[in-house]
Structure 1
Amino acid sequence: MILNDFLPMTQEDLNKLGWEQLDFVFVSGDAYVDHPSFGPAVVCRVLLDAGYKVGIIAQPDWNDPNSISVMGKPRLGFLVSSGNMDSMVNHYYVSKKRRRTDSFTPGGVMGKRPDRAAIVYTNLIRKTYRDVPIILGGIEASLRRFAHYDYWDDKVRRSILFDSGADLLVYGMGEHQIREIAEYLNSGIDVQYIMHIPGTCYVAESLDHLDQFIEIDPYESVSTDKISYAKSFKIQNDEQDPIRGQTLVQRHANRFVVQNPPTMPLERSEMDWVYKLGFQRNYHPSYEAMGGVPAIQEVKLSIISERGCYGNCSFCALTFHQGRIVQSRSHDSILEEAVQITKDSDFKGYIHDVGGPTANFREPACERQLKYGACKNKQCLFPEPCGNLNVTHEDYLTLLRKLRGLEGVKKVFIRSGIRYDYLMHDPSDDFFYELCEHHVSGQLKVAPEHIDETVLNYMGKPSGKLYGAFVDKFNKVNQTLGKEQYVIPYLMSSHPGSTLKSAIKLAEYLRDIQYTPEQVQDFYPTPGTLSTCMYHTGLDPRTLKEVYVPKTSGEKAMQRALLQFKNPKNYNLVYEALVLSNRQDLIGYHKKALIKPKKN
C-alpha cells in the first residue's frame, strides 16, 4: 500500500487510519523525518508497500517503560535503530566532550536519546514485550555487529547482538532483508529459525547448521590481543562482498555471532521503486511548534542519485555498510524527484546537490566487479587507478544537463564528494569544464585530507602531487571560463601514521598556498573502519606492520593547531610543536616562517 501521508505516531493516528493493530513498530533515536535520506522512513515505506501496517515511535523516553507501548503490541515485531548517526558520535566530539545540539531532534535540542541508543531501546522493549521479535538495524548496529573497538570506552566491546538481546541484526542497506524477514514472520516462522537471509546476523548456540564458513578469532582473543584483533578485522573487511563474501562466525564465550554474506545491491529498477514510495519529504508536522528538525535542511532540496563507493578511504565505514558496488537511479526517477523539489515552497531555483557518497560515481567500477565481486586484495583507485576501472562522466553529465533544463531550475550544485583522482583520469575534459561552469557555487569542496605521502598511504588517498595537479587544472579551467572560483580542501589531523613532522609538512603546504582552513577534522575512531583498527592496535591490518598513532591529547592538539597556525589562540601549541620537532627554522620573520618569535 502507498500511504500518501505521514506514518502513524500515536494511537489517534491509528484510529484515523482504521488500523486496530500494527504489524511492526519502528523505534528510532531520531525525530520522524519522512524523507528518503532517513533510513527509518525508507524501511517503513518498504514494509508499507509490501502490505504491512507500520508505525513509528520516535525518540521515546527511555526512563519510562510506557513510552515503548504507546502504539500497542505489534503483531510481528519491533524494529530498532539509533537513527541516521551512531548515537555516540551524535553526542560527543572526538575530544569526548558533549555536543550542544542534535540536528536530528526537534529544535536541535540535545539529550532526547540515550547513549548507545540501540542497546537501551532494545532492552526497554524486552522488559515490556518479552515474546515479540526485535530486529536491530541502522548504522550503529551495522558497524558493531562483531566484537569491536569502542573509542568512548577505550576497549573492545562484544557484538551489539549480545548487549542488546535483539533476535536479528540487519546490516547495510536494509530493503531486501526487511521484506524477507517480514514474509517469514508473517507466514508464522519463529524468528529464531530465520538464519539464512543475506545481510543479517544472529546468535547461535552451535554451528551444526552451517556447511561453509570462516571463523574469526573469538571475542576473548580480540579483546586482549591486538594482533588477533587486526587479523580478524582484515578478514571481516575482505569478506564484505555480496558475490564472493563468505559466512563469518565469531565465538563469544559459549555462543556464536553468525554473519551471513552481504545482501546483493539494489537493481536500478529497485532503486527507482524505493524513491517513489510516497515520502512526504519533510519532518512530521507535530515538530513545527518546536522549531522543526534541522537535519532536513541539508537534504530537502537535494537528490540522492547513487549508493555505494569503491573509493575505499581507510577512515570511512562505507565498505562495511553500503559496500563497494555502486548502484544508481535512472534519469527518469531523478528527474521526477527534481520536479517534486521545484514545487516545494522552500525552492528558490536551486537544487543543492545531486550525488551520494561520491557524486561522480554512477556505475560499478568494472564489468568484472559485477561477475566476481570487488577484488579482495586490490583497490579500484589506490594507489593508482586499476586498469579495469571504467572512467567516464558521460552518464552523470547527461543527467546534469537534463536537470539544468527543467523549468524553474536556475542552478544545480554538486556538494557531495567529488573524487578528484577519478576526475583527473577521465580522458575527456567535458565534465571538468561543465562542473566549473554550471555546478560550483564559487567554492568546490574536495577531500585531499593530507599532503604527507606516508599519511596518505595509510588513509588510502591519492598522492599529494595529484591533488596539486587537480588544483592547477581547476584554476586553469576557471581562468578559461572567466570565473573566479576556489578549491576548498577538507583536511584531517592526527590520523594513524601522522607524526608532528607530518603535520608540520601539511602546515608548510597551507602556508605556501596561503590558505587557512576554517575547520579541521581531528581523526575520529568510529567502529567499522580500517583506520580505527590502526588506532586501536597500532598495526596496519593489511600488513601487520606497526603504525605510529598520535593518541595523547597534547600531541593531537598540536597537530590540529599546526593546520591553523595563523590563529593567535594556537600560537603556544604551534611553538611547542616546532621546538619539539627541532623546526625552529619555521619561527621568525622570513617568508617561510609559520609563526614569529616569542616576545620578551
Structure 2
Amino acid sequence: MKNELQLSDWLPTTNKEVKIRGWEALDVILFSGDAYVDHPTFGPAVIGRMLESFGLRVAIVPQPNVNDNLQDFVKLGAPKMFFGVTGGCMDPMISNYNANKKRRDKDAYTPNGDIGFRPDYATTVYTNILKEKWPNTPVLIGGIEASLRRVTHYDFWSDKLMPSILETSKADMLVYGMGEQPLREVVRLLEKGVPFNSINTVLQTAVLLNKDEKIPKNSNWEDIEISSHEVCLKDKKKYASNFKVIEQESNKLAARRIFQKIGDKTLMINPPYPTMTEAEIDASFDYPYTRLPHPKYNKRGPIPAFEMIKFSINIHRGCFGGCSFCTISAHQGKFIASRSQESILKEVDTVANMPDFKGYLSDIGGPSANMYQMKGKVQSICDKCISPSCISPVICSNLDTSHKPLTELYQAVDNHPKVKKSFIGSGIRHDMLVPEFNKNADPKELDAYTEEVMTKHVSGRLKVAPEHTSDPVLKLMRKPSFKYFHKFKERFDKINIKKGLKLQLIPYFISNHPACEVEDMANLAAETKDMGFQLEQVQGFTPTPMTVATVIYYSGYHPYTLKKVNTPITKKEKDEQHRFFFWYKDENKAWIKKTLNKLGREDLLSVLLPEKTEKWRKNKPTGDAKNTFNDAVPFNQRTAEDKVRFNGKKRHKKKRRSS
C-alpha cells in the first residue's frame, strides 16, 4: 500500500506539497497539536477530508514550532476562508502532564513518543500567534481542548478559574463537540457570501460578542443566562450552579442558547445539533484516507497512538454513561451515533487488505464498546429528557439495551476471510451485562454477548471499570453499586469454567475522587483482595474541564444539589488514598497498619495484613458475635452485620480543606 501512494495522497503540509497539487492559494489551513495521521480516528484528518470533499483547498500544519521564528505560522500564507485550530485528540495538558502535574516522558501523538512538540494550552498558543501574524483572517477553534473550555472552567494545572477559551485565545468562533455538522454549515454560509463575522447563529458554535454588538435573534431558540465569569470568581457556589445548566443543555435535543458575561463581552453558546444520522457518520469514515502517518515522519519513528489503532475499527460515537469524572459525553454527546454494519464491514475489508495486516483486528469498539445501536425506544421521550445519564442511577426503561446487533456485527466481522481474530480493546460496560441491573434486556441475550466476547474477542484478559467499591462514591460517580461487579464476576467465572478458558478479569479503579475518604480506599483494598485481586489498572483522579467531579473538586459543591462534598485536595491526601491500591508492597505495610489502627479499623487490617494483626487477634474482645469480624469468611458469604462493619457505614468525617 505504501508503495502505491503518492505524496499528494495526503493533505499538503508544506508549500512544496501545495504546489504538487497545482494550487496557488488555500481556502482553509488547519493547525494541530498532533502529528498528522490521515486516519478516521484522528479528528484533524476527518475535518480536513470533509472540507476537501466540499471542493475546498485544504492544508494542515501539524505540531507547528512555537519556539523559533514562528515560520510554521506564515509559510503557507493566509487562507481565503479561515484558519482552523485544535490542540489535538487529547487535551494538551493531559498529553503533557500526569495526575501529579509532573511532565510525561512520552507523547502518544508524536513520532517516537517524543515530548516537546506540543505546547501547554496549545489551542490558545497557536491562535494567539495566528491573530498576531494574520489579524484580518478569522480563526475557528475546535477539538476537545476548545470544546471543554467553552465557558468559565477550572484549570487544574494553573489552579485557577479561567474564562472561556474564546477570551484567552482571541479566536473568532468556537465549534464544540464533533465538528462535521457545524463546519458544513459555516462553509455553506461563507460560500454564499456571508462575512465570517456575521456568522453567529450556527448550531453547536460559540462566539464572544463585544458590548456594542446586538444579540442575534432566533425565534426557534429559548435563551438562558448563567452567572458571569466575574461572579464565578467570587462565588464558588454560583460557579457550581452554572455547570448544571451547561450539562443539561448540552444533552438536550431541544436545548436553550446560553449566555455568559465576561467583562464587557457576552459569550453566546448556540444549541447543539441533533445526533448524527447513520448516513452522516458513515460519510465521515468514507473519505479517501491513506490511513497512515504523513511520510514526513518515516525517519522519526512510529507514532504510538497510531500503532495502537492501526488495525482497529470505531463503530460508534457518544456515550450515555454520563460518568462524573469523564468528558466523553460532554464532547461527543450522550446519544449514540452508530455506523451501519455495511460501513463497518467496508472498513474491515480495507484494513484486511493492508499489506502488513496479519489477520488480527485490535479493537471493534467505541467510547464504550457495548453501546452500539442503542437508543430510546420512543424518541419523543428522549427529546424531552434532561438526564445526563441513561443508566444512572438505574437504566432508563425507554433505553433499548439489546446487545444482539453488536453480537451479529462481531460475527459478520469474523466471517471476513482475512480476519483471524477481532479483539475488543475498548472498555466494556460490565453492569449492562448483569440482568439484575439491566432489567430491560433478555438475560439470554446478555449471556450470549458475554460468552461471544470471552470466547472469541479477548486475549487472556478482560478489562472492565467498576471504578470503586463504595456506594456513596459510586453514586456520585454515576456508576452502579459494586454488588453488580460481584454479579458480573460470577457470570464471568461461570463461563470461564464452562468453556475451559483461563481468562483474567482486570478491574479499573480510581482513588481520591470527590466524596472518597481514606476509609473508602481501605475498604476498596480489602474487598478487592478478598475477591482475589492484586490491583494493577489504577489511577488517581485528574480534574479536567467540563465534568461534575472537577466542579466539585474546585468549588466543594455538587452542582445538582449545591450541597458540600468533601474532596481530597492536598498531595498528602491524594498519596495516602492511592497507597491503599498497593497494600501488598512492603514499603506501605507499616503505614497501612498505623492508619487503620488510628481509624479503629482493625477488621480491615486483618484482611489486608493478617500477619500484622496477630497481637490484635489474641487480645480482640469477645462478646456479642455481631461486634466481631470473621475475616476467614469470603466477603459474599459474610453476615449483613459484618458487611456493614466492613463497608464502614459510619464514615470517618473530615472537614473539607479549602482549595
Give the TM-score normalised by structure 2. Answer: 0.88
Give the superposition deviation at 1:167: 0.4
SS in 2 for 1:325: coil
CA deviations 1:269-295 (Å, max 9, x no partner) are 111111110111111111110102111
State the alpha-carbon separation in 1 of the partners of residues 160 and 379 from structure 2: 36
Residue in structure 1 matched with residue 499 of structure 2 by the alignment: 481
- Contact 2:424 2:458 (C-alpha < 8 Å) held by counterparts: yes
Give the superposition deviation at 1:192: 1.3
Could you tell me which of 308, 315, 321 is aligned with 1:311? 321
Give the superposition deviation at 1:374: 6.3
Superposition pairs of residues 203-214 of structure 1, within 5 angstroms: 203-205=208-210, 206=213, 208-210=215-217, 212-214=222-224
State the alpha-carbon separation in 2 of the partners of residues 466 and 594 from structure 1: 28
Give the superposition deviation at 1:479: 1.1
Give the superposition deviation at 1:435: 1.5
SS in 2 for 1:209: coil
Residue in structure 1 matched with residue 293 of structure 2 by the alignment: 283
SS in 2 for 1:569: helix
- Contact 1:133 1:191 (C-alpha < 8 Å) held by counterparts: yes
Residue in structure 1 matched with residue 609 of structure 2 by the alignment: 593
Residue in structure 1 matched with residue 156 of structure 2 by the alignment: 151
* Cα separation, partners in 2 of 1:364 and 1:199, compared to 1, 3 Å: farther
Could you tell me which of 1, 14, 18 is aligned with 2:18? 14
SS in 2 for 1:283: coil
Is 1:201–2:217 an aligned residue pair? no
Residue in structure 2 matched with residue 432 of structure 1 by the alignment: 450
State the alpha-carbon separation in 1 of the partners of residues 304 and 293 from structure 2: 9
* Cα separation, partners in 2 of 1:598 and 1:25, compared to 1, 3 Å: farther
State the alpha-carbon separation in 1 of the partners of residues 604 and 331 from structure 2: 43
- Contact 2:376 2:382 (C-alpha < 8 Å) held by counterparts: no
- Contact 1:4 1:278 (C-alpha < 8 Å) held by counterparts: no
Partner amino acid, structure 2, of 1:191: F
SS in 2 for 1:367: coil
Residue in structure 2 matched with residue 120 of structure 1 by the alignment: 125
State the alpha-carbon separation in 2 of the partners of residues 591 and 565 from structure 1: 11
Residue in structure 2 matched with residue 97 of structure 1 by the alignment: 102
SS in 1 for 2:250: coil
State the alpha-carbon separation in 2 of the partners of residues 393 and 207 from structure 1: 50
Could you tell me which of 224, 228, 235 is aligned with 1:225? 235
Partner amino acid, structure 1, of 2:460: G
Give the superposition deviation at 1:519: 3.7
CA deviations 1:454-473 (Å, max 9, x no partner) are 11001000111111000111
Superposition pairs of residues 289-308 of structure 1, within 5 angstroms: 289-308=299-318
- Contact 1:306 1:328 (C-alpha < 8 Å) held by counterparts: yes
Residue in structure 2 matched with residue 56 of structure 1 by the alignment: 60
Q: Which moved more, 1:179-188 or 1:336-345?
A: 179-188
Residue in structure 2 matched with residue 578 of structure 1 by the alignment: 596
Residue in structure 1 matched with residue 112 of structure 2 by the alignment: 107
CA deviations 1:60-103 (Å, max 9, x no partner) are 11133322012222111100001011111111111011111111
Give the TM-score normalised by structure 1. Answer: 0.96
* Cα separation, partners in 2 of 1:151 and 1:397, compared to 1, 3 Å: same
Residue in structure 2 matched with residue 27 of structure 1 by the alignment: 31
State the alpha-carbon separation in 2 of the partners of residues 78 and 241 from structure 1: 29
State the alpha-carbon separation in 1 of the partners of residues 214 and 548 from structure 2: 28
Unmatched runs of 5 consecutive residues or more in structure 2: 1-6, 616-659
Could you tell me which of 537, 558, 567 is aligned with 1:540? 558
SS in 1 for 2:454: helix
State the alpha-carbon separation in 2 of the partners of residues 196 and 78 from structure 1: 19
Superposition pairs of residues 170-209 of structure 1, within 5 angstroms: 170-205=175-210, 206=213, 208-209=215-216
Give the superposition deviation at 1:445: 0.3
Give the superposition deviation at 1:303: 0.3
Give the superposition deviation at 1:346: 3.1
- Contact 2:535 2:582 (C-alpha < 8 Å) held by counterparts: yes
State the alpha-carbon separation in 2 of the partners of residues 20 and 114 from structure 1: 31
The size of the alignment, in residue pairs, is: 596
Partner amino acid, structure 2, of 1:316: C
State the alpha-carbon separation in 2 of the partners of residues 594 and 247 from structure 1: 59
Could you tell me which of 573, 592, 596 is aligned with 1:555? 573
SS in 2 for 1:563: helix
State the alpha-carbon separation in 2 of the partners of residues 591 and 247 from structure 1: 54
- Contact 1:305 1:354 (C-alpha < 8 Å) held by counterparts: yes
* Cα separation, partners in 2 of 1:389 and 1:69, compared to 1, 3 Å: same
State the alpha-carbon separation in 1 of the partners of residues 208 and 388 from structure 2: 32
Residue in structure 2 matched with residue 375 of structure 1 by the alignment: 385
- Contact 1:96 1:152 (C-alpha < 8 Å) held by counterparts: yes
Give the superposition deviation at 1:22: 0.9
State the alpha-carbon separation in 1 of the partners of residues 180 and 92 from structure 2: 22
* Cα separation, partners in 2 of 1:242 and 1:263, compared to 1, 3 Å: farther
% identity of equivalent residues:
39
Give the superposition deviation at 1:567: 1.8
Is 1:253–2:271 an aligned residue pair? no
Give the superposition deviation at 1:529: 0.6
Give the superposition deviation at 1:578: 2.2
Give the superposition deviation at 1:576: 4.6
- Contact 2:252 2:386 (C-alpha < 8 Å) held by counterparts: no
Partner amino acid, structure 2, of 1:500: V
Give the superposition deviation at 1:35: 0.7
Give the superposition deviation at 1:125: 0.6
CA deviations 1:27-49 (Å, max 9, x no partner) are 00111011111110000000000
Residue in structure 2 matched with residue 338 of structure 1 by the alignment: 348
State the alpha-carbon separation in 2 of the partners of residues 394 and 250 from structure 1: 45
- Contact 1:571 1:595 (C-alpha < 8 Å) held by counterparts: no
Residue in structure 2 matched with residue 42 of structure 1 by the alignment: 46
State the alpha-carbon separation in 1 of the partners of residues 243 and 610 from structure 2: 40
- Contact 2:73 2:130 (C-alpha < 8 Å) held by counterparts: yes
Residue in structure 1 matched with residue 482 of structure 2 by the alignment: 464
Give the superposition deviation at 1:563: 1.1
Could you tell me which of 579, 585, 593 is aligned with 1:567? 585
- Contact 2:324 2:478 (C-alpha < 8 Å) held by counterparts: yes
* Cα separation, partners in 2 of 1:262 and 1:505, compared to 1, 3 Å: same
CA deviations 1:393-448 (Å, max 9, x no partner) are 11111111111110121111111121112222231222122121111112110000
Give the superposition deviation at 1:348: 1.7
State the alpha-carbon separation in 1 of the partners of residues 79 and 375 from structure 2: 42
State the alpha-carbon separation in 1 of the partners of residues 353 and 601 from structure 2: 58
Partner amino acid, structure 2, of 1:44: G
State the alpha-carbon separation in 2 of the partners of residues 412 and 502 from structure 1: 38
Q: Which moved more, 1:509-518 or 1:206-215?
A: 206-215
* Cα separation, partners in 2 of 1:97 and 1:591, compared to 1, 3 Å: closer
- Contact 1:76 1:186 (C-alpha < 8 Å) held by counterparts: no
Give the superposition deviation at 1:584: 4.1
* Cα separation, partners in 2 of 1:576 and 1:183, compared to 1, 3 Å: farther
Unmatched runs of 5 consecutive residues or more in structure 1: none
Residue in structure 2 matched with residue 504 of structure 1 by the alignment: 522
Partner amino acid, structure 1, of 2:587: K
SS in 2 for 1:295: helix
State the alpha-carbon separation in 2 of the partners of residues 91 and 569 from structure 1: 29
SS in 2 for 1:382: coil
State the alpha-carbon separation in 2 of the partners of residues 9 and 370 from structure 1: 46
* Cα separation, partners in 2 of 1:318 and 1:571, compared to 1, 3 Å: same
- Contact 1:475 1:486 (C-alpha < 8 Å) held by counterparts: no
Give the superposition deviation at 1:506: 0.1
